[in-house]
Amino acid sequence: MVCPQIICLNGTSSSGKTAIAQKLQELLPRIYLNFAIDSILYALPGSALFRMTHGQDISDLNYVQLVRSFNACVCRLAITSSEQATDLLTSLEGFSVLLVGVHCSLEELNRRERNRQDRTIGEAAAQIHVVHRRFIYDLEVDSSTKSAAELAGEIMGYIHGVVVLNGRDKTLTNIQKQKRE
């Protein structure tokens, strides 16, 4: 068993990453922080967050720097574009990282967006064909019909059976290969 220092859940908005992370925290053999880009974004003033979630102008927010700061925080707390993936995965060099792809059907994503008050309708649909494009995961799960607790159990089962985590390195190699093509 390899117990990763960092577990990276990647998926569209409303795919269930936060709920899975919360359930997973209770199953892991040591304390893990649940830190997501939302942790940074929800620190913004309410008016800026409203503009972001309603598709209004956010050019004053320097979103690229917010994402870079988030990536730097992930690295410090542990002691999808290819640029963002490369930045995050490069900053995690030297750490044992489990990359988990969280998938969900578009129908279910749309239902979740409609039922939540803090989501931009159509955000998940806009992300569904790009968020996983550059990643090669250690493990992939589907939240379309399974609960967060079931998926956390699947992740724990994987952790108990895995000897080597290589999604991070394979993803970085894949990104470099795509850049050369």
Per-residue pLDDT of the chain (181 residues; tens, 9 = 90+): 678 988 999 998 889 999 999 999 999 988 888 888 777 777 888 888 888 777 788 888 888 888 788 777 665 544 445 677 788 788 888 888 999 999 999 999 999 988 887 677 777 888 888 888 888 999 999 999 999 999 999 999 999 998 888 888 888 888 888 877 7
Domain that holds residue 26: 6-180
10 Å Cβ neighbour count for 147?
13
In a domain, 23, yes or no: yes
Evaluate whether residue 1 is within a structural domain. no
Residue 26: which CATH number?
3.40.50.300
Total-model pTM: 0.78
Q: Is 126 a domain residue?
A: yes
Asked, for residue 27, whether it belongs to a domain, the answer is yes
Structural domain count, the chain? 1
Sheet with 97-103, edge to edge strand ranges = 6-11, 97-103, 139-142
In-domain check, residue 159: yes
